[in-house]
Amino acid sequence: MKTIKILIPALLMIVFVQNSFAKQKIGLYLTAEDYANHKLSYESDGSEGNKILLHATFGSYKVVVVQNGKKHFFSKNEIFGYRKNDQDYRYFNNEAYRIIDSQGFYIYGYCKLIPAGKGLKDAEFFFFSPSSESEIKPLTMENLQAAFAKNTRFLYTIQGFFRTDNELTAYDPSLKEYKLKYLYAQTAK
């Protein structure tokens, strides 16, 4: 009897979790212009016969769109990215980078598992690109200097404000933005 009392809530939780994952809103941005205009080319809520499979198979370079039972295949390198549960992502070299900020230039987050003690932990790494179509590079002082070589006010400000690459991701809760983005906006005036 005690086992049944434990089993029933566990089964209900499994059904609830499956249903919540099945109804995720998702859509594709085919181009950078579509992203800029917030225009999703394909949208799905996960209902039957209408799905978007971002990772059809492990390590796949394809995105599969099922609309009214008909399949469409896209190479990840041919589309800009996707929107999933109110968060935008950009594909670059077949990897999905979470778009954190796109004002002035782009900042991205990329999560991957790293060794930690006896197991693994999820760690977020930061990247950037000067525009929506330019190459995504690690967010470092050296890469910023190369990308913004003509914006000397911004570069001198970075050199005076940040000492290490890790400081570039500092967030100001009172401004509700990254300090790097605030400095960029101030020097662009």
Pairing of strands 137-138, 171-172: unpaired
Query: Does residue 164 sit within a domain?
Result: no
Res. 127: pLDDT tops 80: yes
Q: Tokens 């782009």 label which residue?
A: 106
Query: Does residue 60 sit within a domain?
Result: yes
At residue 129, the pLDDT reads 98
Q: In a 10 Å sphere around its CB, with 0-12 CB exposed, 13-18 middle and 19+ buried, how is residue 63 labelled?
A: buried
At residue 57, the pLDDT reads 58
Query: Does residue 72 sit within a domain?
Result: yes
Query: Does residue 93 sit within a domain?
Result: no
Query: Does residue 153 sit within a domain?
Result: no
Contacts 24+ apart (CB under 8 A), 59-63: 61/94, 63/28
Structural domains of the chain, count:
1
Query: Does residue 24 sit within a domain?
Result: yes
> pLDDT category, 23, cuts 50, 70, 90?
low
**pLDDT, tens digit (0-9, with 9 covering 90-100), for 32-73:** 999 999 999 989 887 777 888 887 556 688 999 888 888 889
Res. 20: pLDDT tops 80: no
At residue 104, the pLDDT reads 93
Average pLDDT in the 78-85 region?
94
Query: Does residue 175 sit within a domain?
Result: no
Q: In a 10 Å sphere around its CB, with 0-12 CB exposed, 13-18 middle and 19+ buried, how is residue 64 labelled?
A: middle
Q: Which domain holds residue 50?
A: 1-86
Backbone angles phi, psi at 5, to 5 degrees: -65, -30
C-alpha to C-alpha distances, 42 to 95, 149, 183, nearest whole angstrom: 19, 38, 36
